[in-house]
Amino acid sequence: MSIDRATSSGKSGLRFGLRIAVVYVLFGTLWILLSDRAALLALPAPEALTTLQTFKGILFVLISGAIVFGFARREWKHQWRLEELRRESAERLELALRGADLGLWDWNLRTGEVYFDERWQGMLGFEPGSLAPNVETWRARVHPDDLGRVQKALDDHIENRTAQYETEHRMRTRDGDWIWILDRGRVTERAQDGTALRMTGTHMDITPRRRAEAGRRLLEAAIEQAAEAVMITDADGVIEYVNPAFEDITGYKPDEAVGGKPAMLRSGRQDDAFYEHLWDTLRAGEVWRGRFSNRRQDGSLCEEEAVISPVRDETGTISNFVAVQRDITEEKTLETQLVQAQKLETIGTMASGVAHEINNPLTAIINYATLLREKEGHQPGGERLQYAAEIERETRRLSRIVRNLLVFARQSRPDRGAVRVSDVVQATRSLLETTLRHDRIELDTDIPGDLPEVICNSQQVQQILMNLVINARDALNSSPPEGKAKRIVIRAGVAENDSARWLRMEVEDNGPGLSEADADRIFEPFYSTKGPEEGTGLGLAISRRIAADHGGMLEAAAMDRGGAKFSLVLPLNGASAR
């Protein structure tokens, strides 16, 4: 029984007894006064008066008993009705608490006694009556990290600073686990000075809700921080949400995208049939996977890989679509450049085979030219002798070109040895001379004859020079100097620093030069200032790697007077340029 019910029952019993006593006193007094006066007036004889007094006493007992019974019966019915109302109210409260899955507590602040109902105790895994009915039982089970703020909220309400007490905190169960509780209460009785006397409230286990909220927060954080763009639309394709990565990839801010449609990203590279198939797939309830080109807000193109899924509501109807899109622009560029590199490798292999095939007829041509020259040698100054000599000279030059091409294309091990720089430069020149002459580009060399030999792999160093000269040629052809001849210069010399010696080779042109942005990135793999059909962006990266493997370095610089200069530094006598 609660404190309130016990007090109420005591007060009802006191009121009932008081009513009976008052009725009995009033009836007895009136009976004595009125019956005695009537007897004296009607029966003056003593014997008759005595008999009348006896009869009057019996009648008084009967009448007063009937009156008391009537009052008692009426009071009993009244109390029965009150008890029925109290029972029905208790049942309704019990059903409401059970339906809301609430536990009830009732705290007498004067005594410290707390009533915990069955569900309150059951939430913590205890049997009814197994917990001590005091406030310390509750306080001992609140999580230590939560107790401070919970106690403050409780004190604030008891001191009448808040209209209601309400907190969410953790409590320890009988098994030692922690569950989340929504604790609500209110002071229901105060003294005249405002002191809280009684407080009642409820407990609700909200652990599933808190776990769901934690999962939702985790999901929101994952989506907000994901590197992939996430876009959610309604069933009509109107954008309702985009994450920060969407802005990073497309350039559109959330407030610019929400309310619009994904069609604003179309680049025009996919036709209407492509998007019709996409939407047909989604409206059929299937997941669409694929790639497409989108246009960023700044107008640039972006290659994306996307997975778009339909989202169904509780009735199974498609209510939304969610797209997860990944920027694969760099990957697509890499794929294209790798394909281009493979093509170049194939061309190199084919060139090697073709060179081998050319070598045999070249040898025959040289031999026949030699025979013809020897045969005409008896007639000095003859025209055919001059033709034969010219054929032999040009054929031998072609033979050297083929030989250098074979050396350049051969996949040999990077063996190193003493190499004369002039030989490497001359081999490079023989391979590119015809191309440069066709493009009307002058190739000058400044190679001192007394340069020391350098320990290196001649093919790899020639590969560097070939790449630098070809890049210079492409730059000159794309933007020729105004009023000047197109010119490339190869220089070589010895540099000394801190008692170390290096061989320094420079390839300089008078083309458009290098911008600061290009100078910072020009050695990055797959970065190219040329069009996609003209370069792979690998040449300079490979060249710098070769230089580093030789203990040297490859640098680029823009010339003040225009043009660009690339410097290859290789160590001499065991020095290192790193």
Q: Which domains does the chain have, with CATH numbers?
A: 3-97 (no CATH), 100-212 (3.30.450.20), 231-327 (3.30.450.20), 334-396 (no CATH), 416-572 (3.30.565.10)
b/e code 502-541 from CB counts within 10 Å (16+ = b): bbbbbbbbbbbbbeeeeeeebbeebbbbeeeeebbbbbbb
The tens digit of pLDDT for each residue in 16-51 reads: 556 666 666 676 666 666 666 666 566 555 655 566
Under 8 Å between Cβ of 302 and 294? yes
Please tell me whether residue 130 adopts helix, strand or coil conformation.
Answer: coil
Under 8 Å between Cβ of 267 and 301? yes
Return the closest-CA partner of residue 547 out of 520, 517, 507: 507
The tens digit of pLDDT for each residue in 140-156 reads: 999 999 999 999 999 99
Query: How far is CA 75 from its chain centroid?
Result: 74
Residue partners of 377: CB distance under 8 A and separation at least 6: 385
Residue 94 burial (CB count, 10 A):
14
Position of tokens 């008993």? 65
Q: What percent of the chain has pLDDT over 90?
A: 36
- Type of residue at 165: Y
List the structure tokens of 46: 């003593």
Helix (H) or strand (E) holding 306: strand 301-312
Tell me the residue length of the chain: 578
Q: Where are the beta strands (DSSP E) in 6-135?
A: 102-108, 114-116
Is-above-0.75 flag for pTM? no
User: Which pLDDT score, from 0 to 100, does residue 322 have?
Assistant: 95
Going by their DSSP bridges, the two strands 301-312 and 417-419 should be labelled as: unpaired
List the structure tokens of 457: 């792999």
Taking 70 as the pLDDT cut, the residues of the chain under it are: 1-25, 27-65, 68-72, 86, 88-100, 336-353, 355-356, 376-382, 400-414, 498, 517, 520, 525-527, 530-538, 573-578
Return the closest-CA partner of residue 106 out of 88, 83, 90: 90
- CA separation, residue 335 to residues 270, 291, 331, 461 (Å): 20, 14, 6, 28
Return the closest-CA partner of residue 63 out of 35, 89, 39, 84: 35
Position of tokens 């600073």? 161
Return the closest-CA partner of residue 517 out of 556, 565, 480: 556
User: Which pLDDT score, from 0 to 100, does residue 1 have?
Assistant: 39
Alpha-carbon gap, residue 576 to 494, rounded angstroms: 14
Please tell me whether residue 577 adopts helix, strand or coil conformation.
Answer: coil
Beta-bridge mates of residue 291:
305
User: Which pLDDT score, from 0 to 100, does residue 343 have?
Assistant: 63
